[in-house]
Amino acid sequence: MAVNFAQDVTETVLLDAETIGRRVAELGAEISRDYAGLEPILVGVLRGTIFFLADLIRHISIPITVDFLAISSYSPHSSAGVVRITKDLDENIEGRHVLIVEDIIDTGLTLRYIVRTLEARRPASLNVCVLLDRPALRLVPIPVRYVGFTIPNQFVVGYGLDLWQTYRNLPYIATVKREILDGR
């Protein structure tokens, strides 16, 4: 059997590929029902969203548009709330139904910034869809319409989520060993 390239850093598989796939399909069906006739624009927030967005939109059975935002925070986990856009949308969202698609919400500071920024552009509606919600770290309340999974306060990697920009390509989501996090 091939050696798992992440075995030195991961502890346990929190969400396997099948579990993720089932939930993403449910979310896609829900979004398809809720946005029928509205031609929403889905805004993926790079980079963690890549797998989630790609899988989600293939389970959406209505016409949609996809666009991307890239943001950078000046401090780890954006705990200071200082966020800036490094790649803006290409589409004009005024009058459009916008659904922001994020991999994870922790403090909520990143999403607060994105929501405020996009609200100023006068969309017809603005909602948030996250794959993972880690509420233990929340600093600001953010209404999230679609949540894939609520997870405990553990550092996770895979399915788009990184550790030092690596391990995004694991097909599952795993917790990271305590000693790895402590040792750096």
The residues annotated with a catalytic role in the active site are 106
Size of the site for ligand PRP (CB under 6 A): 17
Measure the CA–CA gap between 148 and 141, rounded to whole angstroms.
18
Q: Given the complex with ligand PRP, which of 22 and 77 has the nearer CB atom?
A: 77
Question: Of 9, 24, 45, 93, which lies in the binding site for ligand PRP, with binding defined by CB under 6 A?
Answer: 45
Site for ligand PRP in 96-115 (CB under 6 A): 102-111
* Cα torsion 126, 151, 104, 51: sign: negative
- Of residues 160-179, which lie at the interface with ligand PRP (CB under 6 A)? 162
Cα separations in angstroms, 89 against 66, 75, 86, 145, 176: 10, 23, 10, 21, 33
Build a one-symbol-per-residue string for 48-67: x at contacts with ligand PRP by CB under 6 A, - elsewhere. x-------------------
Comparison of 60 and 157: residue with beta carbon closer to ligand PRP: 157
The helix or strand, by DSSP H or E, that contains position 71, with its residue range, turns out to be strand 65-73
AA letter at 13: V
The piece of 4-12, 31-39, 45-53, 146-154 that touches ligand PRP (CB under 6 A) is 45-53
Residue 115 beta carbon to ligand PRP: minimum distance, rounded to whole angstroms: 11
Cα 164 from Cα 166, distance rounded (Å): 5
- Applying CB under 6 A, among 77, 84, 122, 178 the residue interacting with ligand PRP is 77
3-state DSSP of 137-176: HCCCCCCCCEEEEECCCCCEEECCECECCECCCCCCEEEE
Q: Which residues bind ligand PRP (CB under 6 A)?
A: 45, 47-48, 73, 77-78, 102-111, 162
